[in-house]
A and B are shown apart, each in its own frame.
Chain A
Amino acid sequence: MVSLIDYTLDEALRRRVPQSAIAGILDTLQKYNVEMHDISLEHMPEYRNILSDASLLERLRCRVAPSISELSKACGMGFKKMAVVWSNKLNPVSLSKLEAALYAVRNAGAEPFLCIEDASRSYYAEFDVYWPIIERYDVQRLIYCDSSSAMDPFIVRRSLMELLETAICPVEFCASNTFGLATANSLAALKAGVEHIGTSVNGVGPKGRTAMEELLMAVRHLWKGQTPPGYTLADDCSSILSAMKMEVRVDKAIIGANVFAHESGIHVDGIAKNPELYEMIKPEEVGLKRQLVIGKHSGTASLKYKFREWEMELEQDDAVQMLEQVRELAEQQKNPLTDLQLMDLYRRRLIFIHE
């Protein structure tokens, strides 16, 4: 099962979400196999209270620069897990700085992680210098970051497969989403054999992350893999975002309110015959509902389907004639018709016929 490293909390802290909302976010994320939350040290001073919860502290991993002041601040706060953020600049002076930082983490009784920010710019053989250091300080994991979005899925798979051949510790992958490839790149990392993936709800984060909901549902539906149930996924993501004063876009993959809305005649006709024709996931699997939208692209089948939902039968001739009016109205108002508008058209039509 894929293990998730969450970056949603970090974004919530960056956006200064009130402390009272943090517990709710954390509880909700617990449903989705989140192993730990990666957070930046710079956001912590305002949220020190949450660190008094010992069980939460076990699930937090603090990102620290390899500097004495940051390390001592993080040690003072009592973090149990620390990721030393490192740029892959290789020279003996810089490596001794890294060793000093890892030593300080160990010395504070915390577990060290090595986060290489620009790993995607490096050739796998370059990592050979890190393995002895990783062994010496018992570094828990190498965090392979594509912070500059320099990779496509094929490059990710190849690079990580090569890296895993020589790696002496588990590898974690963390994508950025500058070009919209983060979810695909994370799937590629899983293909390569990496088990720990950095994600955030809706992909939030300054450069974007892998969207948690997309990764989980892709693994479940495209690969038939095991992931936590998603029956409340859309609601959960939406409430987490709303705590951050953000909205889920209506067409956001997996969780958008409109991803199960159908308007075009061909699609509605298909959905009426068998929803699988145009839906890979059942709406209820992510806690959403199918919607039928009547608008410019509706067909007669859509109108009949809509009326059948109201337990009314619409004759073919009526549907054909109403459709023209529906399209004109939708175009005029640049919006689909409301149920009331549709009913109104139907009533007027009846009056017209009986006159």
Chain B
Amino acid sequence: MQSKVSFQLVDTTMRDGEQTAGVVFSQEEKLQMAVKLDEAGIPWIEAGIPAMGRREQETLKEMLSLPLRATLIAWNRADEADIRASIACGFSHIHLSLPVSDLHIQFKLKKSREWVLERLQHILQFTKSFGCTVFVGAEDASRADPEFLLQYADVASRFGAERLRYADTVGCLDPFETFSRVNHLVSRSSLPVEFHGHNDFGLAAANTLSAFHAGAALASVTISGIGERAGNASLEEVVTSMSHLYRFSCGLQLPVLPELTHLLSRASGRPIQTYRSVMTAMNG
């Protein structure tokens, strides 16, 4: 198996994780999680959505003032007001997301593929004008036409994005599909690819490992796999399976993982998971 030494994790517990129906983290909990994730050695933290309003912005400003080694990223729709809110908080790393599947373009946006590409170009130019580092998300990439996804990646690259997130939004890939799709994208696009898996069929961790083999440079994870519906790829599962199966550390301190799991359990009000893999083993 191919090994990529540069593979890194992006924690999105406080963005995709908190979007879980019924879950709300307090400001204090978010700050604690950021500190602990940083201690574990996570290089990237997707911290939240400034466009959500004043209270969220206050929390995010607090988080930005913490002395962290990790880089904090703000999540945004491809919308000028969203970007302005993130800039106002003090973010220099901006993630902006647009859907790329025809299903989403037609039914959610009620627009065309051309509109998506134009919008991407416009919002990238707008965001770059603030001197930000910009990462681009491709929502529902796993159901998109791979050729259109390449066009999208090409526009993202030409207009200054530094990373492309391949989102398996509804968790519909198996590990073999993940490999071939991510491999195709990695070989044809100049941007580093981040894989973002969902766990609707219980395959998020396995798909993340496949993306690693396929040459993805990064992957999104959340503590204990918390996230919308059946959740995201679990930080603990991805890190421990890579460590165990490939002797690859992801640069993370494994002893911090149980503390993160407990922190998440308290903040989300959900008990430590039993019968979800390594978490049981870690927590008895």
**Interface residues of A, Cβ cutoff 8 Å to B:** 149-155, 157, 177-185, 187-188, 191, 202-205, 208, 211, 214, 217-218, 221-223, 246, 249-254, 256, 258-264, 266-267, 269-270, 273-274, 276-281, 291, 293, 295-297, 324, 327-328, 330-331, 334-336
Q: With A179-B277, A253-B200, A334-B24 given, is the CB distance from A154 to B1 under 8 Å?
A: yes
Q: Which residue of B lies closest to A252 (CB)?
A: B230
Determine if B275 and A204 form an interchain contact, defined as CB atoms under 8 angstroms apart.
yes
A-B residue pairs in contact (CB < 8 Å), sample of 18: A157-B176, A178-B278, A180-B206, A183-B206, A184-B206, A208-B277, A221-B172, A249-B270, A250-B22, A251-B229, A253-B201, A258-B21, A262-B228, A264-B228, A280-B171, A295-B21, A324-B53, A331-B55
| Chain A-chain B contacts (Cβ-Cβ < 8 Å), number | 206
Q: With A259-B200, A259-B229, A277-B107 given, is the CB distance from A297 to B18 under 8 Å?
A: yes
Q: A246-B274, A273-B107 are in contact. List 9 more A-B contacts (CB 8 A).
A: A154-B1, A155-B245, A179-B278, A181-B237, A214-B202, A222-B172, A279-B170, A291-B21, A327-B52
**Contacts of B1-27 to chain A: CB distance below 8 A:** 1, 18-22, 24, 26
Q: State the CA gap A278–B175 with chains docked (Å).
A: 20
Contact with A along B110-146 (1 / 0, CB 8 A): 0000000000000000000000000000001000000
**Interface residues of B, Cβ cutoff 8 Å to A:** 1, 18-22, 24, 26, 52-53, 55, 77, 103-104, 107-108, 140, 169-177, 179, 199-203, 205-207, 209-210, 213, 225-231, 234, 237, 240-241, 244-245, 269-270, 273-278, 280-281
Q: With A150-B245, A277-B103, A324-B53 given, is the CB distance from A261 to B277 under 8 Å?
A: no
Q: Which residue of A lies closest to B177 (CB)?
A: A222
Closest CB of chain A to B243's CB: distance in Å? 9
Closest CB of chain B to A310's CB: distance in Å? 19
Determine if B21 and A261 form an interchain contact, defined as CB atoms under 8 angstroms apart.
yes
Determine if B281 and A178 form an interchain contact, defined as CB atoms under 8 angstroms apart.
yes
Q: State the CA gap A152–B207 with chains docked (Å).
A: 10
Q: State the CA gap A327–B20 with chains docked (Å).
A: 14
Determine if B275 and A208 form an interchain contact, defined as CB atoms under 8 angstroms apart.
yes
Determine if A188 and B270 form an interchain contact, defined as CB atoms under 8 angstroms apart.
no
Determine if A177 and B103 form an interchain contact, defined as CB atoms under 8 angstroms apart.
no
Q: With A251-B229, A335-B24 given, is the CB distance from A277 to B202 under 8 Å?
A: no
Determine if A295 and B22 form an interchain contact, defined as CB atoms under 8 angstroms apart.
yes
Q: Which residue of A lies closest to B49 (CB)?
A: A297
Contacts of A152 in B (CB 8 A): 175, 206, 209, 241, 245
Q: State the CA gap A150–B231 with chains docked (Å).
A: 24
Determine if B22 and A181 form an interchain contact, defined as CB atoms under 8 angstroms apart.
no
Q: With A180-B276, A293-B22 given, is the CB distance from A251 to B172 under 8 Å?
A: no
Interface of B is mostly: loop
- 5 nearest A-B pairs in the assembled complex, by CB-CB distance: A184-B206, A179-B241, A180-B277, A180-B237, A214-B202
The one of B19, B24, B240 in contact with A331, judged by C-beta atoms closer than 8 angstroms, is: B24
Closest CB of chain A to B182's CB: distance in Å? 13
Q: Which residue of A lies closest to B97 (CB)?
A: A266
Residue of A188, A253, A295, A336 most packed against chain B (CB within 10 A): A253
Closest CB of chain B to A160's CB: distance in Å? 14
The one of B21, B241, B281 in contact with A181, judged by C-beta atoms closer than 8 angstroms, is: B241
Residue of A150, A254, A256, A297 most packed against chain B (CB within 10 A): A297
The one of B19, B104, B230 in contact with A277, judged by C-beta atoms closer than 8 angstroms, is: B104
Q: With A178-B281, A183-B202 given, is the CB distance from A258 to B269 under 8 Å?
A: no
Q: State the CA gap A331–B55 with chains docked (Å).
A: 9
Closest CB of chain A to B147's CB: distance in Å? 21
Q: State the CA gap A253–B225 with chains docked (Å).
A: 11
Contacts of A262 in B (CB 8 A): 21, 228
Q: With A184-B175, A202-B275, A278-B169 given, is the CB distance from A263 to B20 under 8 Å?
A: yes
Q: State the CA gap A182–B169 with chains docked (Å).
A: 21
Determine if B20 and A179 form an interchain contact, defined as CB atoms under 8 angstroms apart.
no
The one of A153, A258, A280 in contact with B172, judged by C-beta atoms closer than 8 angstroms, is: A280
Contacts of A331 in B (CB 8 A): 24, 26, 55
Contacts of B229 in A (CB 8 A): 251, 258-261, 278-279
Contacts of B22 in A (CB 8 A): 250, 258, 261, 263, 293, 295, 335-336
Q: State the CA gap A260–B228 with chains docked (Å).
A: 9
Contacts of A293 in B (CB 8 A): 21-22
Q: State the CA gap A297–B55 with chains docked (Å).
A: 12
Determine if B206 and A185 form an interchain contact, defined as CB atoms under 8 angstroms apart.
yes
Q: With A149-B244, A251-B226 given, is the CB distance from A280 to B21 under 8 Å?
A: no
Q: State the CA gap A256–B270 with chains docked (Å).
A: 13
Closest CB of chain B to A302's CB: distance in Å? 11
Q: State the CA gap A281–B175 with chains docked (Å).
A: 19
Closest CB of chain A to B25's CB: distance in Å? 8
Determine if A221 and B201 form an interchain contact, defined as CB atoms under 8 angstroms apart.
yes
